[in-house]
Structure 1
């Protein structure tokens, strides 16, 4: 019998120009999604800025609240959800994640895919993802099916609206009590 554990989904709004542009279209409060394997958000991954100072260079990233992009935007607001999964599910996710880690230089940010979502047309390129597509793909490849659509059409707001996720926290990211200061 496999034991139950949790993974965490962090949705954020950094207030950057890119986020503001997406927000005008989506009308959603959060437009970036990340997946974390612990409640302290110390092991967290997504697709976004590889360098906090360069919004153009994007791809697979291990996010760090203290030194990464979030450190440049201390007013970032967020919502954190947890999803109950089995330890076997986590093993599968870690196998998928290891492929991303080992090949991280090959992965690009799927900006055209973001536009495809707005047209409800999935745009998928090999080794190219946007944030919520990556998180949905991680879940999907691990056998966790939460939507009746391709990962390339999943938005951060789809996580917010999915009843399988339990709310953990909403507010300023730097005020989240489990972040190690």
Structure 2
């Protein structure tokens, strides 16, 4: 597989991790009673997402579920800290901490498995498409074929032409 194809797969994995990290963090924050972040907190979430995406794309082994789960968990912890610091308030109806941690852990594990399975599926489909493209027949040329400009026996062809012309016709009056 070419180095370019490997880099594209890495960027796809990184993009998936970068999108999943703030989505899970914001969903957990909203379930806990917090609203969507605005201002500096939104910028922090964007920076965290970009950092996770670039890190996942640059690391060579993020196709492994364990490393992807570790990276997603780190993004969740940093994102949770950023939203908690920006909230300036405590949620009265928040879930117990162990339940929130279990939900984050389950979401991180499911996300890592989905990214890993998606990566493998993308590689399989790419391989199939590449193999199918190898066996495509060549295109038929749209330009007409050119006939022979010169004959091998020019005298023979002129004799054949002269002998095929009939000299029989009505009598000449004159």
TM-score tier (shorter)? under 0.3
TM-score, normalisation: structure 2:
0.22
Normalising by structure 1, we get a TM-score of 0.22
Higher strand share: 1
Asked which structure has the greater CA Rg, the reply is 2
